[in-house]
Structure formats: structure tokens, C-alpha cells
Amino acid sequence: MPNDRLRDALLRNGLTPTQLAAAIDVDPKTVERWITRGRTPYQRHRHAIAAMVRETESYLWPDAVAPERATEIAESEVVKVYPHRNSIPADLWDRLLNDAHEHVEVLSLAALFLVERPSFAKQLATKAKSGAKIRLLFGDPTAAEATKRSQEEQLDKDTVAARIRNALAFVRPLLKVPGVEIRLHGTTLYNSVFRFDDEMIVNTHVYGFPGAHAPALHLRRLSAGDLFETYSESLESVWRDATPYTG
């Protein structure tokens, strides 16, 4: 079976099979077999290729890492576990946002705690103008999920919808900034995801508890890891089905 993920990764990075072969010192026919026949490269080559195309080994070759080894790597991807999201130090959020230069992605319902920060929108605008890809996913305030979440948290039925509208007011100026995309989703969120390049905060959702009181994971992406990639693919799935926000 062809490895379409590898083929696509090379195209997105402007690399030909011949160029890849020269960079890692293998025969171009070997690279062609990796792509057209789905052959799995040696570990040293997988690592080099993943670094060149800025993807994880687990994404390019899902079956290459043994389950036992994948579990060990996943444990290493966890930087820290916080019992509550509001236990995360403010300076960690500052550092994650300041250090992000390629990707800032948010999947949440409102994330007011983040977007209402005085400099948040300005920082994202600056990063987008410098070439970063900014993607923000908020809950649709008119969707049934917003009402359901309010009820689950034992709040007035319009509370979450109001939070979302407040959050959208903070980020609305970003609609005019090239490189920033904002969409609305109506999905049931099992986790809120905040990605900053190769680091991520995953805020788990616990029935009956607001997000601030639910646990959170600080993850760092590893080339052969699967945990970071799982949450990233989840965000991607919601993004595909979401509706562009036009203000």
C-alpha cells in the first residue's frame, strides 16, 4: 500500500524523492519504494525524514513502533499533570505563547481565561504577520451543545453561550489578520486542546465540573510519540467539520 502521508509530507515541504534520497544518503529507488510500496525505513532514516518534513514518525509510519515502545514514548511526552487547569502557572501560558513561532491552535468552547488576557489577540496578530499559522476553534453559541454544557455544569442554560460570545468579541479583530482562521464547532468536547508549536495543554472535561477545575496535561511532542499526535488529529477532525466564523 502506498504511503500517502509520506508523499504528502514531501510535497508540502517542497521536497522530491531524489532530494530526500540525497539528504539522507540512500538510493532514490529506495525512497520510491518507501512511498509507492509502503516500505518502512530503518529507524535512523525514519528519524531524519520526520525531522525534515516536520511530522512525527508515528504519523508517517503508524505501525513502525512496537506497542510496548510506543507506551514508553507516550509517558515521556507527558511533561506534567495538573490536578486542575487553574493550577497551571500563568508564566507557563506566557512562555508557551511567547515561544510559539509556527503554530497556535485552540480547540475549546470559550477559553475565556486565555482570550481575555490583555495581550492575547495582539500577540496572535504579531505571530501571524511573522508567518505563524493561527487556528482558533470555539463552540457555536447557538448549538445545542452549548446549552447542554451549561446544564451539565448546573448553570443557567445560556451561560456557556454567553461565555462563547464574550470570547468571540475578544478575537473578532483577528478576522482581518492574514494567517488567522477562526471557526465555530458544535461537537461534544471531551478535551480542550491548546497547541503551541510542539507543546500542548490538554484540558480534560469531567462531567459536572467546569474546565478550570478539571485536570490538564502538559505535553511535548516527540518524533516517535503517539500521544501528542492523537490530540492533534482530534483537533484536525473538529476543524474539518467546523464553520468559518465571519463576525
- Helix or strand holding residue 231 (H, E): helix 227-241
> What distance in Å separates the CA atoms of residue 141 and residue 186, rounded to the nearest whole number?
9
Q: Are residues 60 and 101 in the same domain?
A: no
Domain finish residue from 64, 81, 107: 64
- Interval 198-215: pLDDT, tens: 999 999 998 888 889 999
**Can you state the angle between helices 120-129 and 159-171, rounded to 10 degrees?**
50
Taking residues 165-182, report their average pLDDT: 96
pLDDT digits over 41-53, tens only? 888 888 889 889 8
Residue 221 neighbours by CB under 8 Å, 6+ apart: 56, 77, 198, 199, 200, 228, 229
Give yes or no: residues 51 and 129 share one domain. Answer: no
Contact 100, 196 (CB under 8 A): yes
Do both 53 and 142 map to the same domain? no
Q: What angle do CA 229, 183, 156 make, to 5 degrees?
A: 100
Residue 70's pLDDT is: 65
Return d(Cα 84, Cα 133) in angstroms, integer.
28
Pull the grid cell for residue 25.
544518503
For residues 182 and 239, state if they share a domain.
yes
Q: What is the spatial distance between Cα 115 and Cα 121, in angstroms, rounded to a whole number?
A: 7
pLDDT at 101 over 70: yes
Same domain? 45 vs 90: no
CA distance 38 to 21: 16
Whether residue 41 is found in the same domain as residue 80 = no
Q: What is the pTM of this model?
A: 0.76
For residue 30, what is the domain's CATH number? Answer: 1.10.260.40
Is residue 237 pLDDT above 70, yes or no? Answer: yes
Question: How many domains does the chain fold into?
Answer: 2
What is the residue range of 121's domain? Answer: 73-244
Please, are residues 17 and 11 in contact by the beta-carbon 8 Å criterion? no
End-to-end CA distance of the chain: 44
Distance CA 3, CA 31 (A): 11
